[in-house]
Amino acid sequence: MQANTKDIKQISVFKTLLHAKSMSENPINFFQSNLDESDGIIECRLPYHFILTDRPEIIRQFFQKNHKNYIKTKIVRNDLGRAIGNGLLTSNGDYWLRQRRMIQQGFNKQRLKVISTIMVNEIETYLQQVMEPLAEQQLEIDCTDEMAALAFRIVGKSLFGQSVNEQQMQLMREVIRQVQEFVVDCLRKPYLKPLYFLSGYNRRVTKLIERGNEMILNIIRTRKANNQKEDDLLQMLIESKYEDGSSMSEQQILEESIILMVAGHETTAMTLSWTFMLLAQHPTIEQQLLASILQAIGGAQPSMTDLHKLDYSYQVLEESMRLYPPAWIVDREPLEDDTVEGYSVKKGVDVAAFIYGLHRNEKYWPEPDKFDPERFSVDNKKRHKPYTYLPFGGGPRICIGQHFAMMEMQYVLAMLLRRYRFQLTHEAAIELHPLVTLRAKNGIRMRVSKR
């Protein structure tokens, strides 16, 4: 221990091994009980050596106050970066800052207005082609699968507009699904990496990535060559200029497109799925939400000017992300030693913000497990303590797609709920399955019927 610093409670390897099986399926309870017994900060040695915390002031130091000292971890930079490219989510330092400044300008209100129309059209097409036949026959669906398909269509069309067809979208989705699976396999079972290499798993994934990249590069080249102008995110990436007036290379546009697709579909899909589950479990809140939607837009298609009237759906989504934050853990690597709230953080030991635990900490959230969208009313929000609610992260690396995501999710809720009823088909509690995002162990099975 350094002079004047407190010890961080160490979780012994033995204790971790005792819980190894449950940990590998769901480490949340293990993390939570250990944090509760300590000062909200612990040091774990398995499966990696890292410091974990659910204390707002400590998380703030990592994300905001001393953010330059805390870069993305090797897992994100190397494992994920190698698979999906060096873009906003995976890059660091000056390169990241230059990309962020430029792309941020493109996510402006004007662009979101155009994307808003793309979103509503995509949701409507999905409702007619997929949901309507399912609801007519009152079939059981896995809500997480359905929302993943819908969210992927929305982000794919927002990016590539008319330049992408159904077949290409399906290939992109398949590539991203398999690449994500590969990255998770490498993280969870790093000792099997030689086997992945020998069995040809590596090569298969590399080939798939090359096929996906080639297809997207073709879309980019065709768009540039034809001088077509479309109002989508690809156009924004092509037209965006750095401060010196230069533009991104094709490779950079490719990498940023893939990053937007990866970062922008599973997160919204999971939030929507958890929200449908919560609404089915809380019929009074569902009724209140439905009434507010009908009062705001009736049967008309929503647009950006309606968003402020759909404020209760915003509250419902915020509360849903408090209980089920898709990014349930967010990690960083310290470049230099640091002292945070009296604790010493060492270079070389990663740090992780336990967002799930932060959002369910009763110091900041009375009756933390209760679903209560009133927590996010205008007045109640003023009373929230800083850094106690971080579904989109915080500081300079806060999610660039948060307004995109909130708009999309408000539209999906409004357009689906007024037409269909979603009922859970299983009595048993839905178990958590925290992977890269916070998923449900066996999906969320629901019966969909027409209202």
The residue among 101 and 204 lying less far from ligand HEM, judged by its C-beta, is: 101
- Is 77 strand, coil or helix? helix
Q: In angstroms, what is the minimal distance from the CB of 225 to ligand HEM? A: 26
Least distance (Å) from ligand HEM to the CB of residue 71?
A: 10
Q: Give me the least distance between CB of 249 and ligand HEM, in Å please.
A: 18
Q: How far is CA 349 from the centre of its chain?
A: 25
The least CB distance from residue 261 to ligand HEM, in Å, is 8
Cβ-based nearer residue to ligand HEM, 48 or 201? 48
Least spacing, CB of residue 365 vs ligand HEM, in Å: 18
Our CA angle for 50, 54, 55, nearest 5°, is 115
DSSP letters, 414-443, are: HHHHTTEEEEE---SPPPEEESSSEEETT-
| C-beta of 56 vs 391, nearer to ligand HEM | 391
When the beta carbons of 397 and 421 are compared against ligand HEM, the nearer one is 397
Nearest approach in angstroms of CB 179 to ligand HEM is: 16
Q: Which residue is nearest to ligand HEM (CB)?
A: 401
Helix (H, G, I), strand (E, B), or coil: what is residue 184?
A: helix
Q: Find the Cα–Cα–Cα–Cα dihedral 250, 252, 254, 257, rounded to 10°.
A: -130
Among residues 259, 237, 332, 248, the alpha carbon closest in space to that of 87 is found at 259
Residues that bind ligand HEM (CB under 6 A): 88-89, 100, 155, 259-260, 263-264, 267-268, 271, 326-327, 330, 391-393, 397, 399-401, 404-405
Q: What are phi and psi of 2, to 5 degrees?
A: -75, 160
Tell me how far apart the 2 most distant CA atoms of the chain are, in Å: 69
Our CB check for ligand HEM shows the closer of 135 and 278 to be 278
Report CA-CA distances (Å) from 5 to 2, 8, 73, 440.
6, 9, 25, 40
Closer by beta carbon to ligand HEM, 101 or else 203: 101
